[in-house]
Amino acid sequence: MQRYRVLNGFHLKLIAACTMFIDHMGYTLFPGVMWLRCIGRVAFPIFCFLIAEGCIHTHDRKKYALRLFVFAVLSEIPFNLMTGRAVWNPYDQNVLWTLLLGAAVCWLMDGALKRRTAPAFVLTGAAMVATFWLLEVFCTDYGGWGMLLVALFYGIHRAPYEQAAKMAAQAVGLAFFCIGVMGGVSIELWAMTALVPIWLYNGQRGVSHKAVQYGFYAFYPVHILILSLIAQYSMS
């Protein structure tokens, strides 16, 4: 299996960014073209996987969390324009809030695994429940289920199991996510195909200098702003 792992972190980011763009293009410009939305289902599980990997390998958690926070703030107006066609939309918050709190939960899990005490595990479980509720109440993109998917990838990475068992756990966990996030069977099941590039990941970062790193962060608000403006202009 190792010889087939030909994708690094940079490749995964490219796949996630491209499929996300296709998804948002379908959402804003071609809402009746469902195959665009199906392709777009690939993006979110890969982003969750990359956040989990980032939580494991980052040398500065504060900077990592700060980057997610800053771009979550910067992305809110573009996201509101895309989903509500207004600067203010209290019913939808962008996905970076989900990923940020997913990262926070991963670090809580890490602390509990290091302490290995009953109170630590109970407090972490309670924090996960509270975070799930918070994300659902504030209607972040993918909500509490998105946070759980980040935590799933993180927990499986930390688990002392064989690779085959980890892959099976990822498949089962992602299937539950696909059903849970939409409350039943839907096109979200296309997200299962994201496991192919994830399983081909070789653990290497690939191209990772600052310009590329911040470029991927900036791509999120910039592309949804452009697509939203095109959609509004074309309908006016």
Q: Which amino acid is at 52?
A: A
* pTM tops 0.85, yes or no: yes
Q: Which of 131, 193, 152 is nearest to 55 (CA)?
A: 152
pLDDT computed for residue 66 by the predictor: 97
91-133: pLDDT as tens digits: 899 999 999 999 999 999 999 999 999 999 999 999 999 999 9
| H helix or E strand, kind and range, residue 101 | helix 95-115
Tell me the C-alpha distance between 45 and 42, whole Å. 6
pLDDT computed for residue 184 by the predictor: 77
Q: Are 49 and 174 in contact (CB under 8 A)?
A: no
Question: Could you tell me what percentage of the chain is helix, strand and coil, using 3-state DSSP and rounding each to the nearest 5?
Answer: 80, 0, 20
- The CB-side HSE value for 10 (13 A sphere, CA atoms) comes to 12
Which parts of the chain have pLDDT scores under 70? Answer: 1-2, 235-236
pLDDT computed for residue 236 by the predictor: 59
Domain assignments of the chain as residue spans, ordered by start: 2-235
pLDDT computed for residue 75 by the predictor: 97
Sign of CA dihedral 93, 127, 217, 42: negative
